[in-house]
Structures are given as C-alpha cells and as structure tokens.
C-alpha cells in the first residue's frame, strides 16, 4: 500500500509541471501587454519599456516561467497590481466559501443520487426505475441558472424559508451561514444527482448479474445486506471517479451559482480577475485550481485501492 501511494505521488510530479507550464503559457499568450494594462492608455512608450524591464517582461518566456515557478515554490504567487492583495491572500479569503459550497453540494447530490440508484437497480425495468431514469434525464438538461432562479422563487420569495442571496462566515454565525448555503448547494446538487444516479444504477445492475450476488442470495442473506454490502462497494468505482471530477471542478468555484447567490467564492474571484485583466491573480488562481484538481484525482486513485483489494495488491 505504501509503495502504491509512493508510486502515485511520483506520477504527480510531471503532471504538475505540465499544468503549471500550460497555465503560464496561456496567461502570457493572451493578447495585450501587461505593462499597458497596468499603465493604462496614458502610458508613454518609455514608461512602458521601463515597467516591462522592472517586471521582467522583456525576458524570454521560458526564463520568465522558471523564475515564476521559483517564486511559487517559495510560496510567492504574486500580487494583484489592482488591489495590492497577494494571490494567496485573495485565494485563502475566498476558498472556504467555495469549499463549503462544494462539500454541501456533493453531500446533497450523493444523498439524493445514491439511494435512488440502489432502489432503481434493485427493481430495474420497473415503473419506479423508468420514472426515475426519465426524471434524471430531464434534470440533466435543466441549466443551473434556471434551477437557481426557480429555487429562489420557491423557497425565498414564495415560502420565505431561506435567504435568496448573501453570506456570513461560519465562524460568525454557523446557522446563518448554513442557511445562506442551502439554496446554492441544492442548485448544484440538482445538477449532480442525475449523473451520480445513472452511473451507479448501471454499474449496480451489472454487478447484480454477477455470480457472487447469486451466491449471496443462495446464502440466504437479506436483500439490504446483498445490496449494501455485496453490491454497492464493487459498483462504486465509477461513482468515485465522477464524484472526484465534480469536486475537482467545484474547487475552482461555481461561477454561475456564486454569481446568482452573491457568494464571495473562487468563481467570482476568477470572473473578476478576467474582467479587470488582472493576469497575476488569474494565473495564480488557475494554477491553484488545477493543482487542486490533480490532487483530487490522486485521492480518487487512493480510494480505488481502498475499495478494491485487487488494486491494493497490484493485481488489477
């Protein structure tokens, strides 16, 4: 197991180098010189030239990448030229919001999708299964901004149970914080459960055809033990994969949901940085998000090994 973890960690290094290089290149290939952006349209060519020299923009791209990477390895991701805030400050301020949103959305999505998938698989082809499969397909095609607005209308405007927009930190007011998060997390969960359900349902149906399930029935085990102990675990590999991808994606914030519900998360930081052409923030955030994604996939790989002893023992 230790060897397995060490080997997977080694694989991470080239991936992270590639990710950082791509992030840097994309940012430097964007049209418009950073010096012009900073100095505005009143800049004289001499001032621009001086600033380019100060920022090292007159150096070759590869050299700039190496020096950027060197700073990052020392924990210096750069500083916004607009707000003066460092990238790390901006991210640590926003990240808890996005992480909480992601966590709650994933929990809700799984809480809806997993039980439905199990019930559908146990009675596959039945009326409930067909109804839920159809509903999942319909839900997949509802865009997030629409379900967000519908949820706000129902729970905030009509029923007045929950606030429509806003945010308080968890440390200041835990219940208030959670109340602000219910609707945005539910919006995301509504988009996630259909995928979760469809994947787990079809894997479960395949697993239920296995000989070892027939043997489990022949052993006189209860239906719930067969479903939850014998069938769920071997059917969960794809589920873990898509949950990992979902989580990785949401580390970068949910742009639309954060905007609609006015949550100060990473998504809005990114959109803001793009709007103001704040390239330092942009490339720092993109890198952090990409690293988060890669690390999440690493965790998924480890979970495979936890779930399936054959992978753990290197037989797969």
Partner 1 sequence: MSEGALLSIEDVSVDLPTPRGNLRAVDRVDLTVGAGRTLGVVGESGCGKTMLSRAVLQLLPKKAKLSGRVMFDGKDLVRLPPEKLRKLRGRSLAVVFQDPMTSLNPVLTIGTQLMETLQEHLELDMAAARQRSVDLLAAVGIPAPEQRLMQYPHQLSGGMRQRVAIAIALSCEPKLLIADEPTTALDVTIQAQILDLLAREQRRRHMAMILITHDLGVVAGRTDEVAVMYAGRVVERAPTPALFKKMRMPYTEALLAAIPKIDAAPHASLPAISGRPPDPTRPLPGCSFAPRCRYADARCQTEKPSLSEAESRDHLYACFHPVETAAEVSA
CB of 198: closest distance to partner 1 in angstroms?
21
Q: Scanning the structure block, which residue is given the tokens 């002893």?
A: 309
CB of 222: closest distance to partner 1 in angstroms?
7
| Closer of 72 and 221 to partner 1 (Cβ) | 221
Assign residue 225 a region (left: φ > 0; alpha: ψ between -120 and 50; beta: otherwise): alpha
CB of 172: closest distance to partner 1 in angstroms?
44
- CA 135 to chain CA centroid, nearest Å: 24
Please give the span between the terminal C-alpha atoms of the chain, in angstroms, as a whole number: 14
| Closer of 255 and 303 to partner 1 (Cβ) | 303
Q: How many residues bind partner 1 (CB under 8 A)?
A: 23
Q: Residue 79: what are its φ and ψ, rounded to 5°?
A: -140, 140
Q: Is 47 in the site for partner 1 (CB under 8 A)?
A: no
Closest C-alpha among 97, 198, 181, 183 to residue 144: 183
209-245 per-residue burial string, b: 16 or more CB within 10 A, e: under 16: eeeebeebeeeeeeeeebbeebbbebbbbebbbbbbe
131-164 per-residue burial string, b: 16 or more CB within 10 A, e: under 16: ebbeebeebeeeebeebbeebbeebbeeeeebbb
CB of 219: closest distance to partner 1 in angstroms?
4
| Closer of 47 and 225 to partner 1 (Cβ) | 225
State how far the Cα of 187 lies from the Cα of 106, in Å rounded to an integer.
Answer: 11
Q: Is 130 in the site for partner 1 (CB under 8 A)?
A: no
Q: Is 313 in the site for partner 1 (CB under 8 A)?
A: yes
CB of 88: closest distance to partner 1 in angstroms?
41
- Give the helix/strand (H/E) hosting 34: helix 34-39
CB of 168: closest distance to partner 1 in angstroms?
43
| Closer of 230 and 268 to partner 1 (Cβ) | 230
Q: Is 302 in the site for partner 1 (CB under 8 A)?
A: no
Interface with partner 1 in residues 52-91 (CB under 8 A): none
Interface with partner 1 in residues 171-230 (CB under 8 A): 210-212, 214-222, 225, 229-230
State how far the Cα of 180 lies from the Cα of 164, in Å rounded to an integer.
Answer: 8
CB of 1: closest distance to partner 1 in angstroms?
13
Q: Is 233 in the site for partner 1 (CB under 8 A)?
A: yes
Q: HSE of 51 in the Cβ direction (CA atoms, 13 Å)?
A: 15
| Closer of 176 and 234 to partner 1 (Cβ) | 234
CB of 14: closest distance to partner 1 in angstroms?
31
| Choice from 56, 134, 166, 309 touching partner 1 (CB under 8 A) | 309
- Give the helix/strand (H/E) hosting 291: helix 279-307
Q: Is 160 in the site for partner 1 (CB under 8 A)?
A: no
Question: Residues in the site for partner 1, rule: CB under 8 A?
Answer: 210-212, 214-222, 225, 229-230, 233-234, 307-310, 313, 315
């Amino acid at each position: 197991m230790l060897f397995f973890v060490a080997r997977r960690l080694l694989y991470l290094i080239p991936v992270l180098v590639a990710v950082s290089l791509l992030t840097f290149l994309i940012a430097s290939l964007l049209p418009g010189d950073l010096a012009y952006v900073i100095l505005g349209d009143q800049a004289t060519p001499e001032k621009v030239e001086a600033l380019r020299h100060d920022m090292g923009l007159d150096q070759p791209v590869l050299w700039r990448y190496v020096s950027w990477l060197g700073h990052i390895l020392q924990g210096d991701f750069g500083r916004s030229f607009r707000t003066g805030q460092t990238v790390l400050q901006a991210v640590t301020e926003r990240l808890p919001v996005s992480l909480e949103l992601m966590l709650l959305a994933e929990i809700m999505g799984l809480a809806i999708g997993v039980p439905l998938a199990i019930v559908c698989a146990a009675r596959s082809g039945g009326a409930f299964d067909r109804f839920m499969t159809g509903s999942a397909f319909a839900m997949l095609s509802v865009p997030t901004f629409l379900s967000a607005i519908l949820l706000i209308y129902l729970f905030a405007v009509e029923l007045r149970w929950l606030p429509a927009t806003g945010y308080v930190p968890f440390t200041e007011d835990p219940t208030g914080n959670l109340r602000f998060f219910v609707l945005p997390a539910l919006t995301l969960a509504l988009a996630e459960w259909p995928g979760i359900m469809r994947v787990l349902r079809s894997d479960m149906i395949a697993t239920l055809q296995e000989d070892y399930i027939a043997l489990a029935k022949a052993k006189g085990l209860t239906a719930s033990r067969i479903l939850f102990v014998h069938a769920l675990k071997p059917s969960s590999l794809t589920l873990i994969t898509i949950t990992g991808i979902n989580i990785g994606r949401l580390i970068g914030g949910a742009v639309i949901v954060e905007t609609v519900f006015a949550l100060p998360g990473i998504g809005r930081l990114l959109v803001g940085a793009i709007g103001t052409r704040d390239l330092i923030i942009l490339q720092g955030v993109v890198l952090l998000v990409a690293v988060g994604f890669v690390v999440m996939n690493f965790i998924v790989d480890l979970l495979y090994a936890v779930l399936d002893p054959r992978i753990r023992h290197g037989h797969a």
